[in-house]
Structure 1
Amino acid sequence: MKLRTKLWLSLVISAALSMVLFGYTTVWIGKAANKGYALLELNPLAQSVVDAVEEHPEFQLDALKQTLDRAHADHPAIRWVWLDDQGHSIYDTAGMNPTFTFHDLAMLMRKMPERYLKDNEVPILTPATKNGQTYFLLMSVPASAMKQGEVYFLIRKLSSLLTLVLPLILSFSVPFVVALWLFSTLNKRIRKLNLALNQLNIQSDSPLVELVDTSKDELGQLSQHYNSMAHRIRSQFAEIQQFENKRRLLLSNLSHDLRTPLTTMLGCAEMIRSGNYEDQKELQTRAKIILQRCRYMDKLLDQMLDISRHDAGNLTIRLENHNFSEIVRKIAAEYIMVLDGDQIHLDVEIPDEDIHLPIDAPLMERVLRNILDNAIRYGKDGRYLGIQLFAEEHAVNMIVRDKGKGIPPEHQAHIFERFYRVDSGRQGEGLGIGLAIVKDIVEAHDGSIEMSSMPNVETVFRIRVPR
C-alpha cells in the first residue's frame, strides 16, 4: 500500500473514530456527571401527573392527594400544587396551601427562560380539566435539581439548518484541508528522496541528484544526510578506483622490476655456467652484477612486505630513550662511504651536545636512510647532500637537502601517497611506497614531515619529532 493511501485512510478513519468517540463520551459523561432534570423533561412530567389525576372517574380529594404524594415521592425535589381556576390551593405537597392571583402567576412566568439560566426555581403551570371544571398543576423545580449544563438547537425551518451545518462543515473542513496540505507536502518530499535514492550512482561520470530542502524538520535533516552521504560515497568510490588503479600499476611495475634484473641474472649465470668469459676479472664483474640484482630484488620484496604490513595496520613502535645525535652521526658516516667517488658533497650539521629522544631507533634509522636514498637517487645531479639536526625547546628537527632536479609542483601534493611515483617513465627504482612508510613512522612518533622543492635549486625534507 502506498504511503499516500495510508495517510488518506488514517485521516478518514481517525476522523470517523473521533466523531464516534466524541458522541459516546459526551453522552456517557453527561449521564455520569451532569445529573438533574432537563428543561424539556419538565412539561412531559407535569402532563403525566395531570393525566393520572384525570384518569379517576370522579374528582376526589383523597385520590388527588395520593396522586400528588406519589409524584412527590418519586421526585422529592419537586413541589406539587393543585390549584382551581381562582388560584386557590386545593392540595400542596409542601403543606403551605397558598392562594395565587393572576398577578402572582404572571410574575412566576416572568422573564422565562432567562430565569432558568440563573439560580432561581423553574415553575411549570399545566392546565387540567375535571368534570367540566378547569384546574391547574403548578410544578416548582429548584435550580439545584436541574442539569447544570444543557445545549439546545431550535430549528423551525429546514433552511435554518444551514446556519448550523455550514459552520460545522467549515470547522471540520479546516483540519482536513490543513492535514491534506501537510500530507501532500510530506509525500512529495518523500517521493523526491526516494527518487534520488533510486537514481544514486557511485560512478563519478553520472550526474549526482542533490536534494534542495531548507526545512529544519526530520525530512530536511534526512535530505541533508542524503546529500552528504552521496558525496561521501562518490568520494570513497573515487578513492577506491584510484587505489585500484595504483594497485594495477604496482603489479605492472613489480613484474617489470622483477623481470629486468631476473633476465640480467639469468644471462650472467648462463655465461658463468658455460664458462663463456674471457678472464677472472669478467667473471667477478658478472658475479657482482648478479649480487647487485639479487640485493635489488630483495629490496623489492622488503617493500612488498612493508605494503602488506601497512595494509594490515601492524606498524607498532617501541619507544626507548636513545641518543638521536649518535644515530644520525652513524648513518652520515655510512653515507660518506656510499658517496665516495660520486663527487657529491655531503654537508652534515649536528650539534656537539647530544640530543636524547624517546624513539623506536630501527624505525627512525629507516626513515633517515629512506630519505637519503631518495635524495641521492633523484638529486645526485646537484652534487650536494645536506643533513642538519637541531633541537628546540619542545621538538627535535632533522632536515635533508639536495640541489638536484627536484620535484615538479604538480607532484608535490602527492609525494607521500602510496604507490605514487614522480618518474612515470620507469626511471629510478622502487614501488612508490617508501615515503608513505616514512610518513607513517614519523606520525606514529607524534611527529610531522614536510617537503618543499624548487626544481634545480633545492629540495628539502623536514622532520619534526616532539621531545
Structure 2
Amino acid sequence: MKSRTKLWLVMLIGAASSIVLFFTISMVTGKAWNKGYDLNSLNAVSQGTLTSIERQNAFSGTRLRAILDEAHARHPELRLEWLAADGSTLYDTSGQSHTYDFRQLAERFVHMPNNLWSEDGVVTLVDTAEHGGQSYYLLVSLSSEAMKPGQIYFYLRTYQTLMAFALPFLVAALLPYGISLWFFSSSDRRIRRLNTALNRVGIRSDAVLLEDGSRDEIGQLTRHYNSMVERIRSQAAQIGQFENRRRLLLSNLSHDLRTPLTMILGYAETIRTGGYKDENELQTGAKIILQRSRYMDKLLDQLLDIARHEDHVPELRPARHNLSELLRKIVADYLLVLDGKPFEVAADIPDDDIEVVFDAPLIERALRNLLDNAVRYGGDGQFLGVGLEETADEVRLTVRDRGKGVAVEDRERIFERFYRADGGRKGEGLGIGLSIVKEIAELHRGTVRLLAPAEDGGAETVFELRLPKTPVSLKA
C-alpha cells in the first residue's frame, strides 16, 4: 500500500475515531460525574404523571394522591403540587395546603433560568390538564442542587439553524486534521520526488538535481542527494576520461608492439633463411632483434606496473635516509647507461649529507622515472641535469633536459595517468611514469611540478620534486 493511501486511511480513521471517542467518553463521564435531573428528565416525570392521572381519570381524591405519592416515592427530590384553576392546592406531596395568588406563582418562575445553576435556587416546571371544562396544573419543583451540574440545550426551529452550530464544530474539529494532511501530503510529495530522482541515479544515466530549501530532515536528505549526484557526475566524467585513455592506451600499445614485432619477425626470417649478405649484416639484424625485444620487454614491464598499481596503493615505509647519497648512486647508474653517447650530464648535489625521512624505494622509483622521462623525451637536447637543494622545511630535487619541451596545451595534463603528449615529447611509453611520480610525492605529502617548460628548442624543461623533511611519522 502506498504511503499516500495509508495517510488518507489514517486521517479518516483518526477523524471518525475522535468523534466516536468524544461522544462515548462524554456519555460515560456524564453518567459518572454529571448526576442529577435535567429539564428533559423533569419533563418526562411531569408528562408521565399527567398521563397516569388522565388514564385513571383521577383529577381529585384518593386516586390522585396515590398517583402523586407514587411519583414522589420514585423521585424523592421532587415536590409535586396539583392546583385548581383558582390557585388552590388540591394535593401537595410535601403536606402543605394553601391557595396561590398570581404574585406568588410568578415568584416561583421569576428567577428562571438563573435558578438552574444558583446554589440555593428552586427550579419549577408547570404542566396543565383539562377535565370537565376545568383546568388543572401540575407543579414539579426541586432544589437547584438536585439538577445536573452540566447541561446544554439547543432549541431549533429549522435544520438550517443546525448548520450554524454544526459547521463551526466540524471546522474546529477537522482543522487540525486538514493541517496535518497538508503537511504530510507535502512531505509525501517531496519524498516521492526524491525517490523518483534516486531511481534515475546511475553512472550511465543523467541524474537530476533537486531544489529544496527547507531545513528539515527531508531537506537535509535532498542536499545529501544533490552532493551525491555531483560526486557521481564527477566520477562518471573521470571514468569516461579514464576509459578513453584506456582505449587510447590499447591503440598505442597495439601500434607500439606491432612495429617492433614486424621488424623482429622480418629479421628473424632473414636469419632463418640465410638471406643476409655477410656477417656484418647478420650482426646488425641480431642487434635490431635484441633492441626491439628489449623495447617490448620494457612495454610489458610498464603494463605490469599498471596492473600492480590498480591492485593496491603502495604502502609507505618511512625511515631516515641520506638523500644526497641516494641521488649520487642513481646519477652514477645513469652515467654508465649514457657512457659512449653524446650526452652532457650535470649533477648539482651538495657535498654535505642531507638526511630526510622518506621511503627509499619509492623515492628512488620516482627519481628514476623523472630521469627516464628526461632521457627518452628530451634526448634531442643531449643534456641531463640533476639538482638537490635544502631549505629549512623541505628539500627540492630537480631533473632538467633541453629537448623540444612540453606544449602549452599539454602542461596541465602531463601528470595524468595514460596521458601522452602529441608534441615533441611523444615517444616510447604508456603515459604512467609521471603519474606515478605524482602519487609517490603526494604519499610523502610533497609535490611535483613542471617549471618553465620550453615552448621551442633551446630552453630547459625542469621537473621539480619537493619533499618535506619530516612528511610522516617514523614507525616504531
Aligned to 1:123: 124
> Quick one: structure 1 residues 98 and 465, their matched pair in 2 at CA, closer, same or farther if it must change by over 3 Å?
farther
CA shift for structure 1 position 125: 3.8
> Quick one: structure 1 residues 91 and 11, their matched pair in 2 at CA, closer, same or farther if it must change by over 3 Å?
closer
Aligned to 1:140: 141
Give the residue type in structure 2 aligned to 1:38. Answer: D
> Quick one: structure 1 residues 383 and 424, their matched pair in 2 at CA, closer, same or farther if it must change by over 3 Å?
closer
Q: Secondary structure at the match of 2:379?
A: helix
Aligned to 1:417: 416
Q: Which residues in structure 2 correspond to 1:284-433 (within 5 Å)?
A: 284-423=283-422, 427-433=426-432
* Gaps in structure 2 of 5+ consecutive residues: 471-476
Query: Given that residues 129 and 135 in structure 1 are in contact (C-alpha distance below 8 angstroms), is that contact kept between their aligned partners in structure 2?
Result: yes
> Quick one: structure 1 residues 90 and 73, their matched pair in 2 at CA, closer, same or farther if it must change by over 3 Å?
closer
Aligned to 1:105: 105
The range that moved more, 26-35 or 164-173, is 164-173
> Quick one: structure 1 residues 453 and 35, their matched pair in 2 at CA, closer, same or farther if it must change by over 3 Å?
farther
Query: Given that residues 203 and 234 in structure 1 are in contact (C-alpha distance below 8 angstroms), is that contact kept between their aligned partners in structure 2?
Result: no
Aligned residue pairs, count: 462
Q: Secondary structure at the match of 1:244?
A: helix
Partners of 2:349 and 2:50 in 1: CA distance: 129
Aligned to 1:459: 461
* Gaps in structure 1 of 5+ consecutive residues: none
Query: Given that residues 58 and 131 in structure 1 are in contact (C-alpha distance below 8 angstroms), is that contact kept between their aligned partners in structure 2?
Result: no
Query: Given that residues 87 and 102 in structure 1 are in contact (C-alpha distance below 8 angstroms), is that contact kept between their aligned partners in structure 2?
Result: no
TM-score, normalising length: structure 1: 0.80
What percent of counterpart residues are identical? 50
> Quick one: structure 1 residues 427 and 274, their matched pair in 2 at CA, closer, same or farther if it must change by over 3 Å?
farther
CA shift for structure 1 position 80: 1.7
The answer to whether 1:156 aligns with 2:144 is no
CA shift for structure 1 position 134: 6.8
Q: Which residues in structure 2 correspond to 1:79-228 (within 5 Å)?
A: 79-82=78-81, 84-85=83-84, 86=87, 91-93=92-94, 102-119=102-119, 120-127=121-128, 137-164=138-165, 167=168, 210-216=209-215, 224=223, 227-228=226-227
CA shift for structure 1 position 349: 2.5
How large is the Cα RMSD of the aligned pairs? 4.2
Give the residue type in structure 1 aligned to 2:79. Answer: W
Partners of 1:317 and 1:189 in 2: CA distance: 47
Aligned to 1:260: 259
> Quick one: structure 1 residues 390 and 426, their matched pair in 2 at CA, closer, same or farther if it must change by over 3 Å?
closer
Give the residue type in structure 1 aligned to 2:37. Answer: Y
CA shift for structure 1 position 82: 3.2
Q: Secondary structure at the match of 1:291?
A: helix
Query: Given that residues 81 and 89 in structure 1 are in contact (C-alpha distance below 8 angstroms), is that contact kept between their aligned partners in structure 2?
Result: no
Query: Given that residues 396 and 465 in structure 1 are in contact (C-alpha distance below 8 angstroms), is that contact kept between their aligned partners in structure 2?
Result: yes
* Superposed CA offset, 1:170-208 (max 9, x none): 66786787678768867876776677678778668x8x7
Query: Given that residues 53 and 59 in structure 2 are in contact (C-alpha distance below 8 angstroms), is that contact kept between their aligned partners in structure 1?
Result: no
CA shift for structure 1 position 148: 2.8
CA shift for structure 1 position 401: 2.7
> Quick one: structure 1 residues 392 and 427, their matched pair in 2 at CA, closer, same or farther if it must change by over 3 Å?
closer
Query: Given that residues 406 and 424 in structure 2 are in contact (C-alpha distance below 8 angstroms), is that contact kept between their aligned partners in structure 1?
Result: no
Query: Given that residues 89 and 99 in structure 1 are in contact (C-alpha distance below 8 angstroms), is that contact kept between their aligned partners in structure 2?
Result: no
CA shift for structure 1 position 329: 0.9
CA shift for structure 1 position 408: 1.9
Aligned to 2:40: 40
Q: Secondary structure at the match of 2:36?
A: coil
Give the residue type in structure 2 aligned to 1:369. Answer: R
Partners of 2:98 and 2:280 in 1: CA distance: 158
Give the residue type in structure 1 aligned to 2:464. Answer: R
Give the residue type in structure 2 aligned to 1:42. Answer: L
Aligned to 1:448: 447
Give the residue type in structure 2 aligned to 1:375. Answer: A
> Quick one: structure 1 residues 237 and 136, their matched pair in 2 at CA, closer, same or farther if it must change by over 3 Å?
same
Partners of 1:326 and 1:268 in 2: CA distance: 44
Query: Given that residues 123 and 141 in structure 2 are in contact (C-alpha distance below 8 angstroms), is that contact kept between their aligned partners in structure 1?
Result: yes
CA shift for structure 1 position 309: 1.3
Partners of 2:75 and 2:349 in 1: CA distance: 118
Query: Given that residues 268 and 287 in structure 1 are in contact (C-alpha distance below 8 angstroms), is that contact kept between their aligned partners in structure 2?
Result: yes
CA shift for structure 1 position 308: 0.9
CA shift for structure 1 position 165: 5.2
